[in-house]
Amino acid sequence: MIQYGSINLNSVRVADLTAYLVSRKWKPAEFARKEELKYVSDIFGMSLLIPANEQLSDYVDRVEMLINSLSELEERPFISVISDIITPACDKIKVRLSTLQFRTGTLHLGFAVKFFQSVRNMLIFAECANNGHQTCFTKATKKGIAYADQCRLSAIMPGSFQAVFESPLTPPASELQKKALAYPNERRLLLDLMTGLQRMKSAHESGDMEPVVQDASHRINANICDSILDMKPDSDDATIDFCFNWDQIWPIPDQPNESLITFDSRSFETIKAISQAMRAASTPVHRELIGKVISCSSKDPIQQNNDMVIVMLTDSGKKVEVQLSHDDYRKAVNAHIDGKNIRISGTIEKYPKKTVLRDYSDFDVVHDSRLI
């Protein structure tokens, strides 16, 4: 048994080797001996032979020789190459905390819980930002939670404190899809997160937060800012590095395989100010709406203790959902039947797929109409 760190060479499969070589643009070629598979590289101008069967008596020795060759060609440590070979396709975010208290590479458990929850929140709201362009979210979406929970925590490396989070990638179905840069959702949201972090860093360096706060794509939102602030240890000399490592199964033209973004101790005030500005921009607005009821739903209109929801179409063409009391719901149903307008006031909250009026008041059935 040959062991490298925590990795046993017996655990390396032929499928792992071939997938890795293909992702690095090695191409299969014909070879006479069925016990071996041949791969050629235009980049390195050479070929490699790999064992075709894991039952071969010298399989482990051959794997070790192959990885040694790849390590020399790629100019990377043996352990890094073998780790990438046995790891499913994924992009990586390396998050490193640097301060004197972390020089041993350890965290107090109390802070560790907060740190990992904050990273999870950042990934959740990165997914939220990818699907709904808002400056702030009142709650996490199910899709965001599902994405963050499928990400993996890789081995923690000593030094300062560094953790690697892996975002699983769906491989391309064809070369055409790869050439078209039709990235899967999980790649696109990390690219947006990286771009957002780069813009925050630029905002700190230039002293101008406006491009980040007013960015219509909202790659960064207040929730992501708060997550980063919560990762910061209570130390004046703390810095946080985010290093994005892109799996070459989905190449990115004109983009290095690793992208490093560093926030030093002075950056956190800027991040806090951006968060506050975004939250101010997303403060719910109290509005009066006038429009027609286009749908009504209630589990039991007779019972008064269940959800009674209407959807109204305002004169400006917006659909707004409102949960009403029993008496107002009956009035809304009658207005719907009679084709009359309703007037209602409340706080507008916008979500990716709907707009909701909350804390309503001044409900009435009217005959006139006007724009919002």
Q: What are the C-alpha distances in Å from 111 to residues 77, 105, 230, 236, 272?
A: 32, 13, 10, 16, 20
Q: Indicate whether 149 pLDDT > 90.
A: yes
Classified as helix, coil or strand, 30 is coil
> Structure pTM?
0.57
Decide if pLDDT at 298 tops 50: yes
Percent of the chain with pLDDT over 90: 37
Distance CA 211, CA 142 (A): 29
| Residue 119 to residue 94: CA distance in whole angstroms | 11
pLDDT at 371: 41
CA atoms of 136 and 318, how far apart (whole Å): 21
List pLDDT tens digits, range 186-201. Answer: 999 999 999 999 999 9
For 235-246, the DSSP string reads: -TT-EEEEEEE-
pLDDT band at 242, cuts 50/70/90? very high
Is the pLDDT score of 155 beyond 70? no
CA separation for the pair 97, 105 (Å, rounded): 9
The band of 127, judged by pLDDT with boundaries at 50, 70 and 90, is very high
Strands 161-168 and 27-29: unpaired
Structure-token pair, residue 225: 């800012």
* Per-residue pLDDT at 368: 57
Write down the mean pLDDT value for the chain.
85
Q: Residue 253's pLDDT is what?
A: 86
Q: How confident is the model at residue 306 (pLDDT cuts 50, 70, 90)?
A: low
92's tokens: 């990586």
- The residue ranking higher by pLDDT, 99 or 21, is 21
| pLDDT at 372 exceeding the cut of 50 | no
Helices (runs of H) and strands (runs of E) counted in the chain: 11, 16
Q: How confident is the model at residue 244 (pLDDT cuts 50, 70, 90)?
A: very high
User: Position 192: which residue type?
Assistant: D
Contact 106/253 with Cβ under 8 angstroms?
no
For 320-351, write each residue's pLDDT tens digit. 999 998 889 989 999 999 989 999 999 887 76
Torsion 337-340-345-348 (CA) sign: positive
| pLDDT number for residue 304 | 53
The average pLDDT across 157-179 equals 80
Of 28-37, 183-192, 240-249, 251-260, minimum mean pLDDT range: 251-260
Confidence bin at 223 (pLDDT 50/70/90): very high
Return the pLDDT at 7.
65
Instruction: pLDDT band for 363, please (50, 70, 90 cuts).
Output: very high
Token pair recorded at residue 308? 């009674």
pLDDT score at 11: 78
Q: Is residue 369 pLDDT above 60, yes or no? A: no
Query: Span 244-255, mean pLDDT?
Result: 87
Does the pLDDT at position 303 exceed 60? no
**Greater model confidence, 5 or 179:** 179
pLDDT at 305: 54
SS3 call for 63 = helix
Coil, helix or strand at residue 228:
helix
How far CA 272 is from CA of 77, 234, 265, 276, in Å, comes to 39, 15, 12, 6
Per-residue pLDDT at 309: 86
pLDDT at residue 203 in the model: 92
Residue with tokens 């040694």: 68
pLDDT of residue 49: 92
Token code pair at residue 24: 């690095």
